[in-house]
Amino acid sequence: MNTKYAHNKAINANSKSPFVKFRSINIGDCQWTEGFWADKFKQAETIMVPHMGELLKGDIGHAYNNFKIAANMQDGEAKGMLWHDGDFYKWMEACIYVYGINKDAALLTELDEIISVLAGAMCSDGYLHTHNQILAKPRWKEVCDHELYNSGHLILGGVIHHRVTGQTNWLDLSIKHADYLYGVFESKDEALARFGFNPSQIMALVELYRETGEKKYLELADIFVTMRGSVPMELHDSVPYWFTGDQCQMKTPLREETEAVGHAVTGMYLYSGAADVYAETGETALIDALQSIWSSANERKMYVTGALGQCHHGAYDDQNMIHEGFIDDYLMPNSTAYNETCANISNAMFNWRMLGITGDAKHADNVELVLHNSAMVGISADGEKYFYANPLRMNFGQRDYSDHCDCTESPDREAYIECFCCPPNLVRTIAQVSAWAYSLTDNGVAVNLFGSNNLNTKLLDGSELSLSQVTNFPWDGSISIEVKACKAESFDIAVRIPGWAKDATVTVNGEAINGVKNGEYLTLSRQWREGDKIAIELPMNTTFVEGHPRIEEIRNQVAVKRGPLVYCIETPDLPENTGILDAYIASDAKFDAQFDQSFLGGMTTIKTELLVRQDNTQNMYDEIQKPTWGSHQAQFIPYYAWSNRGTAEMTVFVPVVWK
């Protein structure tokens, strides 16, 4: 492969990575033009990013104040969570992705001012953690201080800023901080081996290595991977007892792990970082472990929405308390499902990296699933309110939410969540999705995600390629891809046929293509010419989905799915005074899927007849009688769109009455 034309302005700049099959396009190479993702990006550009900036730079969010206080620019107290620095860096990263598309100079001016404050807050040796500095806390004493979590987002932000702008003011801080971390952790001191909880720094260090060519950053990333599970699982002053063992992925060394365990976000960050390390080293033990972990997480512990993290609080065994994380295979509660927005996004991050390594369409399928369901549900239709936890059922008879117990669970999206890690994570994801739409293959391009866009990039041999994609996906399965410019020689266009798209068809210039299989990439090899058109038809059938028989919580229940979208029922679409637990559906129910421009900005809803049980028992157990049924013309709406019409009950899975 000719690496002269390396795509070094990508989010994951893996064009020179020796152990990947799909390589990333540069930020800005793909730009949405109209439809679902164009609308979401425009909302991120005009509402999400500015509004979040007002929160975080103001007294409500207080994040910018923390940096100013640490820089001795103003007096005040440290506020927000100990990982609030990382929240602020993620918002800054979202600003960079927006700038990478719209080139608004005002964004750079704003970021330059902020970066100068970060430089003032950073200690002379490169350490930066505003809470610990303001509170004069000792360094590296408690894993829950999230020092390395903040480090990762600081370092990555500087790398992305440099790739998009060419400026070094933030990158210089990233390098200084990474050099400091190398000095602290290079010795592999056992006293520090437990640090790395919520390890965003591994991914960041690999990107810094790719940016600078300095191998010590890759070495340090590998050190952090190796340290997980390298010391005895025992109570330790640096680790609170409820963060012992599997909770921090510290019970088993990663290279020996076979299960997705512990805190879902920290696990997915660790696995994503290890995947980045593998892309550079090709270490067999790493990829073998990651394949097993992927299977555990995505085939036995993942919700139908692509969400991860089955419980808020629980226990994996007598030595492992679990918080916001994974529990047993197929143990999938609905109402108490935690499914933190960050966990769902990090599932997409892990699958994105596994897609790069393997080129297997199943990973892109999961990225698509998360983006259209369990990630997007984390933000309101107006772009200004947020969910942290994302259950698949909300029924108020189960729990009194009038005085919910912490800052991360609510029946309604919140304008500000004290634990603010998820909102900026989601906004930066929405801002960067276009960079995931295509990948570069050895002699061509792969189409990963669907949405109207223009792609202007270079293949790995340096030749120019321009494509135009037109579609109303995910509401419609018709996709047209036109070649606008390309080299004269033969090359590949690999089109993903989603696993859900049974009986999909593909034509090139009107000629049917044989061998189309769902769940695979269809590789079209030919001498392409300007004006050539690929037409893809993905059947958008409305279907029932049932769970594995071991998922006790949804035995004899079904979910409704159309294309990549999982649907739900909300109480605004039920008769007055009807609860979500009164809703049933007949096995022979007919569906009418129609695009409704007036509904929450425009989306496809599904009309059907529901059965409404009139006599549900209120006792713990009751002798069964033949139910009394009513019927009601209701609609299913996309899961991500629920809770935009006032406080409501909701369910994804509905009991089925077999006819």
Summarize pLDDT for 564-602 with one digit per residue, the tens.
Answer: 999 999 999 999 989 999 999 999 999 999 999 999 999
What is the pLDDT at residue 282?
98
Task: Tell me how far apart the terminal alpha carbons of the chain are, to the nearest angstrom.
Answer: 59
- For residues 322 and 309, give the distance between their C-alpha atoms in angstroms, rounded to a whole number: 10
What is the pLDDT at residue 237?
83
- For residues 512 and 453, give the distance between their C-alpha atoms in angstroms, rounded to a whole number: 24
Under the banding of pLDDT at 50, 70 and 90, the label for residue 407 is: low
Q: What mean pLDDT comes out for the span 20-43?
A: 98
Nearest to 155 by CA among 110, 92, 111, 113: 92
Stretch among 2-16, 49-63, 252-266, 416-430 having the lowest mean pLDDT:
2-16
What is the pLDDT at residue 397?
67
Under the banding of pLDDT at 50, 70 and 90, the label for residue 403 is: very low
For 565, the enclosing helix (H) or strand (E) is strand 565-570
Share the mean pLDDT of the chain.
95
List b or e across 213-230, with b for residues whose CB sees 16 or more CB atoms inside 10 angstroms.
ebebbbebbbbbbbbbbe
Examine the pLDDT at 322 and tell me if it is beyond 90.
no
List b or e across 37-57, with b for residues whose CB sees 16 or more CB atoms inside 10 angstroms.
bbebbbbbbeebbebbbebbb
What is the pLDDT at residue 1?
46
Tokens standing for residue 174: 């990233």
Examine the pLDDT at 402 and tell me if it is beyond 70.
no
What is the pLDDT at residue 164?
98
Tokens standing for residue 657: 């009455």
Under the banding of pLDDT at 50, 70 and 90, the label for residue 241 is: confident
Examine the pLDDT at 318 and tell me if it is beyond 70.
no
Check: pTM over 0.85? Answer yes or no: yes
Instruction: Give the tens place of pLDDT for each residue, 333-375.
Output: 999 999 999 999 999 999 999 999 999 999 999 999 999 999 9
Judge contact between 160 and 170, C-beta under 8 A.
no
DSSP β-ladder status, 444-447 and 583-586? unpaired
Examine the pLDDT at 297 and tell me if it is beyond 70.
yes
- For residues 443 and 534, give the distance between their C-alpha atoms in angstroms, rounded to a whole number: 18
Under the banding of pLDDT at 50, 70 and 90, the label for residue 534 is: very high
What 3 state SS string does 229-281 have? CCCCCCCECCECHHHCHHHHCCCCCHHHCCCCCCEHHHHHHHHHHHHHHHHHH
Q: What mean pLDDT comes out for the span 189-202?
A: 91
Question: What percent of the chain shows pLDDT beyond 90?
Answer: 87
Q: Say how many CA atoms lie within 13 Å of 363 toward its Cβ.
A: 23
What is the pLDDT at residue 616?
73
In order of 148, 160, 217, 284, the CA distances from 127 in angstroms are: 11, 20, 16, 34
DSSP letters along 370-404, please?
HHHTTTGGGB-TTSS-B-S---SEE-TTT---TT-
User: Residue holding tokens 């510290």?
Assistant: 250
Q: Which residue spans within 17-95 are E strands per DSSP?
A: 23-24, 30-34
Tokens standing for residue 390: 């994302």
DSSP structure class, residue 533: E
